[in-house]
Amino acid sequence: MSQVGAGGRPAGPTGPEGAAVRPRRADARRNHQRLLEVAAAVFAERGEGASLDEIAKRAGVGSGTLYRHFPTRQALLEAAYVDRIEALAARADEIAGRLPPGEALTEWMRELGLGTIRIRGLRALLGAAAAQGGSFADTVCGSTLRDAARRLAEAAWREGTLRPDVDAQDLLRLAHGLATASGLAEDGEQYVGRYVDLLMEGLRPRGRAARG
């Protein structure tokens, strides 16, 4: 099934997931890199619906080249924001090392929501990560965030501060929803924290009040 390594080439350098990264032509590598940088900038400026043609033009490549490297808008978005997503996932563990599980989960949800609002273009990605069974369910970003959410959820279950019927997928979906809700307000950032706090109160097992 695997196409990796086909052709009898000696094993080359491998990427973060262990997939073989075959050496590209120098111009291809340059274009790839340039497209990523430009895409991140343009998405930030114009939002996740930015014109792909503009990205190609600004990167100085033909539109066909963009499609060759990133066959879908989603693929480009993901590639442009992997590092942000991974940073968000890494935050989960930092926070977990600092706070008790319930509070850590709440804090991470806040940061997730804030990131979704602040970084234009990230919302579509988090939405895809939060969707299940869809065509993007198995993207790198999706599994990275889901794993982070799962680690926090499991700790909170053990601690007894998260309802056992609420799972990582629910948390990602709800974070996306609350970020969307906050984004409806003029200054959305002010609302995320509040909405997350309200929700998390409801996610505690019945009868267990907040300590605050």
Partner DNA sequence: ACCTGAACACCGTTCAAGT
Nearer to a copy of itself, 69 or 176 (CB): 176
- Closest by CA to 117, choosing from 104, 126, 128, 108, is 126
Residue 98 contact partner, candidates a copy of itself, DNA, none, CB within 5 to 8 A by sort of partner: none
Question: Closest Cα to residue 140, out of 18, 51, 3, 11?
Answer: 18
Among 55, 81, 176, 193, binds a copy of itself (CB under 8 A): 176
Joined together, the tokens standing for residue 48 give 């996740």
Using CB distances below 5 to 8 A depending on partner kind, what does residue 61 bind out of DNA, a copy of itself, none? DNA
Q: Is 61 in the site for a copy of itself (CB under 8 A)?
A: no
Going by C-alpha positions, the residue among 195, 196, 75, 167 that lies closest to residue 125 is 75
- CB under 5 to 8 A by kind: which of DNA, a copy of itself, none does 90 bind? none
- Give the side-chain half-sphere CA count within 13 A for 88: 31
Cα separation, 64 vs 104, in Å, equals 45
Residues that bind DNA (CB under 7 A): 24-25, 27-28, 31, 49-54, 60-65, 67-69, 71-73
Contact pick of 36, 38, 40, 200 for a copy of itself (by CB under 8 A): 200
Residues 6+ apart with CB under 8 A from 199: 109, 174, 178
Minimum CB separation of residue 119 from DNA in Å reads 19
* Closest CB to DNA among residues 24, 194: 24
Among 178, 181, 170, CA closest to 199: 178
177, HSE (Cβ side, Cα atoms, 13 Å): 9
- Of 39 and 162, the one with the shorter C-beta distance to DNA is 39
Site string for a copy of itself, 132-171 (x = CB under 8 A): xxx----------------------------x--x--xx-
Whether residue 168 contacts residue 142, with contact meaning beta carbons closer than 8 Å, is answered with no
Q: How far is the CB of 176 from a copy of itself (least distance, A)?
A: 6
| Interface with a copy of itself (CB under 8 A) | 127, 130-134, 163, 166, 169-170, 173-174, 176-182, 184-186, 191, 195, 197-203, 206-207, 209-210, 212
